């Protein structure tokens, strides 16, 4: 399943519901939840909120989103050592992230990038794509 299989239309088809779920989980206005909003930097989400959002998305869209799946998918065929060394994402890893998280403005993916900071890159659209990938995988 490649990222290119997900069109803007696919994303926009579920985006309103995903935005509603994220706004509800974070207690913010839906208008604040934009496709390119960083859940952590723009919407003040914390890692515990990600669990809540994923749980709500799974329930709403009847999919299972395994924990850590986004990072694993972003890594692609790179081994953990090729993707990250000493907690810092390698150049090859950053290139993979830029491709996988194509919805994230490239200037947000700066080097050196700490692996622990990858979730800060996740946007509303990232969560839309997670749902769509799981729907496609289960189809």
Q: In CATH, what number is assigned to the domain containing residue 103?
A: 1.10.1200.10
Helix (H, G, I), strand (E, B) or coil at 117: helix
Q: How many whole angstroms separate alpha carbon 127 and alpha carbon 16?
A: 12
pLDDT on residue 114: 96
Q: How many whole angstroms separate alpha carbon 93 and alpha carbon 137?
A: 24
> How many domains does the chain divide into?
1
Q: How many whole angstroms separate alpha carbon 43 and alpha carbon 63?
A: 24
Note the pTM of the prediction, 2 decimals: 0.91
Per-residue model confidence as pLDDT tens for the chain (139 residues): 444 579 999 999 999 999 999 999 999 999 999 999 999 999 999 989 999 999 999 999 999 998 887 788 889 899 999 999 999 999 999 999 999 999 998 889 999 999 999 999 999 999 999 999 999 988 7
- For 122, the domain range is 3-138
Residues 83, 52: contact at Cβ < 8 Å? Answer: no
pLDDT on residue 3: 46
First-last CA distance in the chain: 12
* Burial classification of residue 68, based on how many CB atoms lie within 10 Å of its CB (0-12 exposed, 13-18 middle, 19 or more buried): exposed
> Is the N-terminal amide bond of 112 cis, ω within 30° of 0?
yes
């Amino acid at each position: 399943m490649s990222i290119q299989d997900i069109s803007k239309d696919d994303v926009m088809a579920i985006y309103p519901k995903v935005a509603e779920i994220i706004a509800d989980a974070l207690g913010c206005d839906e208008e604040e939840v934009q496709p390119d909003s960083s859940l952590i930097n723009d919407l003040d989400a914390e890692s515990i909120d990600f669990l809540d959002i994923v749980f709500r998305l799974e329930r709403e869209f009847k999919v299972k989103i395994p924990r850590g799946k986004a990072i694993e998918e972003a890594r692609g065929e790179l081994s953990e050592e090729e993707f990250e060394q000493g907690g810092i994402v390698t150049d090859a890893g950053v290139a993979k992230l830029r491709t996988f998280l194509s919805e994230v403005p490239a200037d947000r993916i700066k080097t050196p990038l700490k692996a622990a900071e990858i979730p800060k890159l996740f946007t509303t659209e990232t969560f839309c794509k997670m749902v769509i990938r799981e729907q496609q995988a289960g189809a």
